Structure 1
Amino acid sequence: MTYFVYILASRKHGTLYIGVTNDLARRVWEHRIGKGSHFAAKYKVHNLVYVEPFGEIEMAIQREKTMKEWPRAWKIRQIEKDNPEWNDLYDSLNR
């Protein structure tokens, strides 16, 4: 099974949300309909801007926890390394 650490954004350089899941398409959809998290719903954080896959849940959870502790500038740098335009990656997911 594959696990994913993901970052959602409200807009380019906007509010960020970091999470972990084993079903990325479903989880992002839940965020979009307001069922993902109270924080994401309140701040309209639904654009998928970063995804990192892992083969083991323990590694994914550790990465999520580590990234949540990073300074904001590091999170932005991580997003822009692979997605400089902050494109919403949701439509590119294989559903």
Structure 2
Amino acid sequence: MTLKSYYCYILTNKNRTVLYTGYTEDLNIRLKQHKAGKGALFTKKYNISYLVYFEKYEDIQVAKKRERQLKNWHKEWKWNLIKATNPSLKTTDIN
């Protein structure tokens, strides 16, 4: 039996001025949806499609809970979290 994976992730825009937090069970598909403007209205409005951070979980409820937690964080706290694992702020642009 293969365990499913769920992800809590943070995206940003090209200029790294806006952050978006979400969760999904298929990170690649979800990122492509965001890139195509079909992810969320917020990501479409602010051109958010660069992955800067993600966490992987085996339980969807844990991923959802983490997403809600991160959504309540201040922007500075999110940037500190991102920089802890991605200090050069490398982004992955979804094609």
TM-score by length of 2: 0.89
Match of 2:31 in 1: 28
How many Å separate the matches in 2 of 1:33 and 1:2?
A: 23
Equivalenced residues, count: 91
Question: Which ranges of structure 1 fall in alignment gaps of 5 or more residues?
Answer: none
Question: Which ranges of structure 2 fall in alignment gaps of 5 or more residues?
Answer: none
% identical equivalent positions = 36
Match of 1:53 among 50, 53, 56: 56
Match of 2:13 in 1: 10
Bigger Rg, which one: 2
Amino acid of the residue matched to residue 86 of structure 1? L
| Stretches of 4+ aligned residues off by more than 2 angstroms | none
Higher strand share: 2
Q: Is the 8 A contact 2:49 2:93 kept in 1?
A: no
Higher helix share: 1
Superposed CA RMSD in Å reads: 1.3
Per-residue deviation, 1:64? 0.3
Q: Indicate yes or no: 2:55 matched with 1:43.
A: no
TM-score by length of 1: 0.89
